[in-house]
């Protein structure tokens, strides 16, 4: 199965406004991992799930991403269709999709337990760029 970046972005944006819920996997509630899993499942790109993780980072997320996706070289510029793995302290603990920003550049589409506690999109500013630990391309997503 193959989908375009535009199809991936549209699928991800369809979750905008869904509330945050730890380990949620439905439109009734999602966490950052659940958002990635649901969008990829909706597009037929993956049927795997990752569960049983806690709120504190333990490396599980990084391991799964490296097994399932294509790790980009350090210094790669974030581009629409990528998954951003982010850290707030030492270990990565957050995920989001890189999508086109309506005023040019890119934005981050993600969901966090903190305000606003729902799937949201905002410009990928310098603060968020510094949080990026790794970028991944998703097998089956094409530019066209």
- pLDDT, mean over the chain: 93
Look up the domain containing 106 and give its range. Answer: 3-142
Domain count, the chain: 1
Contact call for residues 9 and 81 (beta carbons, < 8 A): yes
Asked if the model's pLDDT at residue 52 lies above 80, the reply is no
* pLDDT given for residue 135 in this prediction: 98
Asked if the model's pLDDT at residue 56 lies above 80, the reply is no
Q: Give pLDDT tens digits for 65-99.
A: 999 999 999 999 999 999 999 999 888 999 999 99
> CA distances (Å), 40 to each of 29, 36, 104, 114, 126, in order?
16, 6, 25, 24, 27
Residue with tokens 């709120």: 55
Q: Residues of the chain with pLDDT > 90: what percent? A: 81
How many H-runs (helices) and E-runs (strands) does the chain carry? 4, 10
User: What pTM value is reported for the model?
Assistant: 0.95
* pLDDT given for residue 74 in this prediction: 92
- Arithmetic mean of pLDDT, 34-43: 95
CATH, residue 24: 3.90.1720.10
Six-digit token pair at 103?
């005023």
* pLDDT given for residue 54 in this prediction: 77
């Amino acid at each position: 199965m193959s989908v375009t970046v535009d199809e991936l972005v549209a699928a991800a944006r369809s979750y905008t406004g869904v509330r945050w819920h730890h380990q949620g996997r439905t439109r009734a509630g999602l966490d950052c991992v659940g958002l990635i899993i649901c969008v990829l499942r909706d597009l037929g790109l993956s049927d795997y799930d990752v569960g049983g993780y806690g709120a504190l980072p333990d490396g599980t997320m990084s391991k799964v991403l490296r097994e399932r996706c294509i790790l980009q070289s350090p210094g790669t510029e974030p581009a629409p269709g990528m998954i951003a793995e982010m850290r707030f302290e030492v270990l990565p603990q957050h995920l989001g999709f890189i999508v086109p920003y309506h005023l040019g550049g890119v934005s981050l589409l993600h969901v966090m337990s903190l305000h606003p506690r729902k799937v949201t999109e905002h410009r990928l500013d310098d603060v968020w760029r510094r949080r990026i630990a790794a970028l991944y391309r998703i097998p089956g997503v094409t530019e066209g």
